[in-house]
Amino acid sequence: MSSQSPIIVIGASAGGFEALKTLIGGLSPDFATPIFIVWHVSADSPGVLPEVLNRYRNGSAAHARDHEPIEEGRIYIAPPDKHLLVENSHVRVSRGPKENRFRPAVDPLFRSAAYHYGPDAIGIVLSGALDDGTSGLWTIKYRGGKAIVQHPYDAEVRSMPESAIRDVQVDHIVPVAEMPELLERLTSELKSRPKGIEMEFSEYEQKKTETELDIASEANALDKGVLGLGELSPYTCPECHGVLSTIFDGNLRRFRCHTGHAFSPDSLLANLTENIENSLWSALRGVDESIIMLNHMGDHFAEANDVKLAALFFQKANESSRRGNLIIEALSAHEQLSFQVVKEQSKSLNATENDLDQNDEKRQEQSVG
């Protein structure tokens, strides 16, 4: 298939299953534009999406196979634990580094579509948590493609759509039920427009996209010059503890380590706060083990009739127990943070402040009366 023919790339996460069924089920039977889907699933998932979508498309949906040709009327779905990429005439499937804590991830698919198809790429972000897909959708827009986002009020989980709308100049924000008709129109327009229009990109953007596609395709990130894509940050990679560099898509900031893992700010925050909890549990385990050992030593010396030394070991065990209780308090107070969590807290805070203001106004009115 020629890179001059349009393609559609779709990213979805939590809440995306129903959205995908609605979108694919609404397309006309003769809709021929190839569709590529990344839906976040766990590595051990049985991968039921092709079977479900084939109820609507008569066997045209399947998990993608590495290097298979791109054909009209097909729906290619990222297999569990594999990235899905597109090239000019064929599909790539790889186990490159995770992005935003996922493999498959939406951004690598979107970047590959933007790089190889440019203005003929249509990117769609559906329901999902955090912000995977935003960076890739930005690249599609930067290279002349179309950006479509499910309306947040129509999404079961609004974070991915809201992130894309916030950071990308989206072309269409629509409920998923309206997308089939929109895609029919857009693909028809793309097929009829003049071809061969050359676009120019900055040397940095070209190098960045090529390097990141190589990394997603399992190339050695360090050998490909990943450290030259941005400035070193004060953060370490939550996946491998490598140093993270700051990379920019326009004004959109994100991070990638020298082994290849990539993070948006929201996914990095979520991972860092999750690791804090893991570290606290690890610290509590260490304290508990020291308490067990100190009491064991105390019992040993008590049996040996060394009362003073036994008492000292028991005292140290009690001191460690108090420190363990402080860790338990820290665990109880710890929050798993993301942009959406903080945003919801901000809404609650504003609502509380408004209630307080209204109560103050009522008290003032009563005092005047």
Reported as a pLDDT band with limits 50, 70 and 90, residue 1 is very low
Please state the rounded mean pLDDT for residues 80-94: 96
Confidence class for position 363, pLDDT limits 50, 70, 90: low
The per-residue pLDDT for 307 is 95
Please name the residues in contact with 236: beta carbons below 8 A apart, sequence gap of 6 or more. 242, 243, 244, 257
Judge whether residue 351 has pLDDT over 60. no
The token pair at 71 is 């054909």
254 φ, ψ (degrees, to nearest 5):
-150, -175
Q: Active site includes 132? A: yes
40 among known catalytic residues: yes
pLDDT at 286: 97
Distances (CA, A) of 268 to 104, 132, 257, 273: 17, 11, 12, 9
pLDDT at position 353: 52
**Segment 163-190 mean pLDDT:** 97
Greater model confidence, 1 or 348: 348
* CATH class (in words) of the domain with range 7-192: alpha beta
* Per-domain residue ranges of the chain: 7-192, 218-264, 267-333
Kindly indicate the confidence band of residue 2, based on its pLDDT and cuts at 50, 70 and 90. very low
Confidence bin at 210 (pLDDT 50/70/90): very high
Binned at pLDDT 50, 70 and 90, residue 362 comes out as low
Q: What percent of the chain has pLDDT over 70?
A: 92
Rounded CA-CA distance 264/284 in Å is 30
In angstroms, how far is CA 159 from the centroid of its own chain?
10
Tell me the whole-structure pTM to 2 decimals. 0.87
Q: What is the C-alpha separation between 328 and 306, in angstroms, rounded?
A: 33
What is the mean predicted confidence (pLDDT) over 263-274?
Answer: 92
Highest mean pLDDT among 133-137, 187-191, 199-203: 133-137
Whether 13 sits among the annotated catalytic residues: the reply is: yes
C-alpha span between 123 and 136 (Å, rounded)? 9
- Mean pLDDT lowest among 25-34, 76-85, 251-260, 359-368: 359-368
| Lowest mean pLDDT segment, chosen from 20-29, 122-131, 271-280, 344-353 | 344-353
Query: Residue 339: what pLDDT?
Result: 77
Strand residues in the chain grouped as ranges (E): 7-12, 35-39, 61-63, 75-77, 83-86, 91-94, 121-125, 146-150, 172-174, 231-236, 243-249, 252-257, 262-263
Between 306 and 365, the more confident residue is 306
Least confident range of 215-224, 298-307, 329-338: 329-338
Reply yes or no on whether the pLDDT at 142 is more than 90. Answer: yes
Identify the residue with better confidence: 90 or 46: 90
Average pLDDT over residues 194-213: 87
Question: Can you tell me whether residue 70 is helix, strand or coil?
Answer: coil
- What's the pLDDT at 114? 97
Mean pLDDT, range 101-130, rounded to an integer? 96
Name the active-site residue from 13, 163, 245, 267.
Answer: 13
Choose, from 107, 132, 167, 214, the residue flagged as catalytic: 132
Pick 351 or 275 by higher pLDDT. 275
